Amino acid sequence: MARIVTLTPNPAVDITYTVDRQVLGETVRVRDVQRRPGGKGINVARVARALGRDVTTVHPLGGDSGRWIERALHADGIPARYCAIAGETRSTVAVVDGISHPTMLSEPGPALTDAEWEALLTMVAGCSGPGDWVVVAGSFSPGTDGLRLDRLISAVRRRGARVLVDTSGPLLRTAADAGADVVKANENEVQDVVGSGDTSHALARLGGAGSRVVMSRGAQGLLLREPDGAVFERTAVPDVAGNPTGAGDAATAGLVAALTDGHDVDTALAWAAVLGAAAVLHPVAGEIDAARIPDLCARIGLPPAMSPLPTHPERTSP
């Protein structure tokens, strides 16, 4: 079975504060606190593992926060490998009240030295092989340039694996130009990186070097542009409300799980929509409400036999 390897270049301790109401400039009492190993790649790995896929997650970790993430992933049974770094792993905070869109507070994270990045590149390449998918997801540490990402993509492709990069800014364009099989971002990020407010034009420019481009559009669903210019669209699952934090990562997990299993683009987008909705229904980022998946599949007309839920329970064992 093909493996899904996720790289989180800038992991974090994800903290979710639940409050009655967000009010700027006032003391706000926190009703509940949840802490999880976070970062987009870790979120993708967690959801893909919940779907029964063979997953390994790789990340740089440093300091007390990094050691906490290492212990927490081990306790959760998520196969993880890490490169030790000198800097302290960052934290991010989401403030959720069920009324307004969550407020996100995101630390920048530590810069990686050339030696630390080289060790990370070697580890990711060593975990991947023919037919595997490597998902590079999230922000990068301060000072990461395009050459580092270009070399990472080339190293993974030489191993026979396929690469999906989910990020933003100039490194999104670097990933597309470097030959990533899939690049993924939200609509604003795609338009910003190519300097065009026209969606069709932005997709075409970002995919000009041959990458598939996946654009998430929140409640409007997803678009996928093939290298030959064909565009596929999947509407979001209707009537879903909750915490959208981490929904994009769950959608990435669904998309890659479908592609890993050999499904077509339509099915991959359907799985992405279902998993994104299952994440919105869960109060904590990086988790899904798996019990709702059959209902969510039914809402978009996905046959039960095509559900992303695992059909082989033994896959989920550590």
- Residues found in the chain: 318
**Catalytic residue positions?**
249
